[in-house]
Amino acid sequence: MERTNFTFVNPSRWLKALPVLLLASFFGGPQSFGQYIELACDQDVRVVLDEDCEREIKASLVLEGDDFTAYNLSNSDFNLNVIDGVDESGDDLDGPGTFIYEISLRSSANPSGTVSGLPCWGYVTGEDKTAPDLDCPDDTDEGTVVLDCFTDNGTLDANDLSMNPTDFSCFIDGQSGLDDGTHYYDLLAFQVDRTDYYTILVSDEFLDANGSPSLEQSAIALFQGGFDPSNPCEKRTSSPSRTSRSTTSTRL
């Protein structure tokens, strides 16, 4: 009959060895503690501007997904740029309106995991909800009426300044039928002697070559703070009307 030899091992010996093997595997083997930090851009961010019509846009305002502050990240670890037409705007929103923002992770950031979803972009809308600052005069039952008029006479010709008023909406809307093409003009500057509220009437009596009123060939308007022929509507305080007469109430 074949003989089989058996070796008996004391259980206490391998039970004591087992923890040593497990610990050696745990501390000496490869480690894998990586975490994915899921981030994404909010496509429609709305913020209220401060009293200076500005607002700093931070990563915490525009990023969705995981709470990045739980992974050793803060707002300063992100590059954020608001494209609002202001040079070097950075993360500042400079005025009301809707603009594109872009955000990415700085190379110096040290997150405790792998960040996914960046770079990305979205839209941010700044809303001006600051109440207007009204400067109203004291109540009174008396008023001063000044009837002084300023009149200027002369002739416009090809040596004067020129523009085509029908290129600008404030002339088209104010005086229908104004002829298209080059119109010659003069600038008449005046200044009041004190700050107050004024109602100013301006009118013209332009005549054509035959001595007839030239409503389709002339216009008159009032501007405050200067005149820019490339953008004449910017500082206009009154519109020319069909009768070439314009009235405005303004504070000067």
Instruction: Among 1.20.120, 2.60.40, 3.90.10, 3.30.1490, name the CATH number for the domain at 36-127.
Output: 2.60.40
Give the SS3 label for residue 172: helix
H-run or E-run covering 60: helix 59-62
- Tokens for 204, please give them: 């013209």
**Boundaries of every domain in the chain:** 36-127, 143-252
Q: How far apart are CA 233 and CA 235, in angstroms?
A: 6
| Percent of the chain whose predicted confidence (pLDDT) is above 90 | 31
The predicted pLDDT at position 15 comes to 42
Residue 27 has pLDDT above 50, yes or no: no
d(CA 122, CA 100): 6
* Neighbouring C-beta atoms of residue 63, cutoff 10 Å: 24
Residue 132 has pLDDT above 50, yes or no: yes
Q: Is the pLDDT of residue 29 over 60?
A: no
| Range 43-50 average pLDDT | 94
- Residue among 74, 80, 40, 39 at smallest CA distance from 56: 80
Mean pLDDT of 158-174: 78
Kind and range of the H or E element at 13?
A: helix 11-28
Residue 196 and residue 252 in contact, taking contact as beta carbons nearer than 8 Å: yes
Winning range, highest mean pLDDT, from 80-84, 140-144, 175-179? 80-84
User: What's the pLDDT at 238?
Assistant: 61
